[in-house]
């Protein structure tokens, strides 16, 4: 179902770009202490987890798994904020770094992409088996939100009691077009530079031998990167094929657990109209729309010296409705 968001942007941050950029700037000094854990994968690669605390047999706190956005990590401003919020609510937070995003390059040519659910599937199975007495919930940001959506659709009988999807590019093709327009090109350059650098490091380390450094250096758009790198390395025909197969929008109707999807109409990474579902959503899926918020911004409050990070209030409120401990 659709729901109008209660979020009201701070009067001093009405602009979508200010919402998007300010969150990163204002939270730059936030500290989040975590404990690292490396998990070896069946295919010979590895994943790094960041825990707010390691679960114990004597304390059955709920565990909330977080999936970060494109080239994000535990140090991303939104990740630090939510991990601290989860801890303050008496829960345990664990961020799953996508392959190659923890500060260490992964071992294989392929790393991760918007439709890749293999690692969240493995980690979910591993943790729910290891900590079977705990309740589990999940939060996905941006690319991680699309991955989470895909996972929930492919595994409707999953062990999560609830999930939240934030600012997810549920229609990948339209998002790659939108981020190549106007001021959004600034975000695109930032992301493309990181993606290209990661790929060049793999060439240098001989992890991948199908790419050309010279061609990589000429890439300027997300679409070009996905067409030259993401698609072929992960078995897709091209960018269009990758976008069509990996977009989360088409699977929303298959989600069976309580799921809150948060989306801002002014998100500079998204084509708002293309993101909106065209099919009737199940009652357990709430698509919450706000007029403002930018991309993972959602900053409220009247005092610029004391901003309110609305997502850190809205998400726990939703999870509390479904967690029993």
Task: Just list the catalytic residues.
Answer: 142, 267, 295
Q: Say how far apart CA 216 and CA 194 lie, in whole Å.
A: 12
Provide the β-strand partners of residue 137: 64, 162
Q: How far apart are the first and last CA of the chain?
A: 27
Q: How many CB atoms lie within 10 A of CB 237?
A: 12
Nearest one of 150, 167, 152 to 247, comparing CA atoms? 150
Phi first, then psi: give them for residue 231, nearest 5 degrees: -65, -60
- Dist CA 262 CA 185 (whole Å): 23
Q: Is the distance from CB of 67 to CB of 144 less than 8 angstroms?
A: yes
Beta-bridged to residue 66, according to DSSP, are 95, 139
- Contact of 98 with 195, CB cutoff 8 Å: no
142 contacts 101 by C-beta, under 8 angstroms = no
Please list the residues that pair with 164 across neighbouring strands: 139, 260
Task: Of 125, 128, 101, 117, give the one whose Cα is nearest residue 46.
Answer: 101
């Amino acid at each position: 179902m659709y729901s109008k968001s209660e979020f009201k942007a701070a009067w001093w941050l009405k602009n979508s770009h200010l919402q998007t950029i300010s969150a990163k700037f204002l939270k730059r000094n936030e500290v989040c202490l975590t404990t690292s854990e490396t998990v070896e994968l069946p295919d010979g690669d590895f994943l790094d987890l960041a825990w707010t605390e390691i679960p114990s047999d004597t304390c059955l706190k709920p565990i909330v798994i977080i999936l970060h956005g494109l080239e994000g990590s535990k140090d991303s401003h939104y990740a630090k904020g939510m991990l601290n919020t989860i801890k303050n609510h008496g829960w345990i937070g664990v961020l799953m770094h996508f392959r190659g995003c923890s500060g260490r390059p992964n071992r294989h040519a392929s790393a991760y992409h918007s439709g890749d659910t293999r690692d969240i599937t493995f980690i979910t199975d591993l943790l729910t088996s290891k900590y079977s007495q705990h309740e589990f919930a999940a939060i996905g940001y941006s690319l991680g939100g699309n991955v989470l959506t895909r996972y929930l659709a492919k595994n409707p009988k999953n062990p999560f009691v609830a999930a939240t999807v934030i600012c997810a590019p549920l229609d990948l093709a339209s998002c790659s077009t939108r981020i190549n327009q106007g001021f959004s090109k600034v975000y695109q350059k930032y992301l493309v530079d990181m993606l290209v650098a990661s790929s060049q490091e793999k060439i240098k380390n001989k992890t991948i031998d199908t790419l050309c450094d010279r061609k990589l250096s000429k890439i300027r758009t997300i679409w070009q990167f996905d067409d030259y790198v993401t698609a072929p390395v992960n078995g897709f025909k091209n960018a269009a094929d990758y976008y069509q197969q990996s977009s989360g929008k088409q699977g929303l109707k298959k989600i069976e657990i309580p799921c809150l999807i948060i989306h801002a109409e002014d998100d500079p990474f998204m084509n708002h109209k293309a993101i909106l579902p065209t099919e009737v959503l199940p009652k357990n899926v709430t698509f919450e729309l706000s007029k403002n918020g930018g991309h993972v911004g959602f900053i409220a409050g009247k005092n610029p010296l004391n901003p309110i990070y609305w997502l850190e209030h809205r998400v726990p409120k939703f999870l509390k409705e479904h967690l029993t401990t």
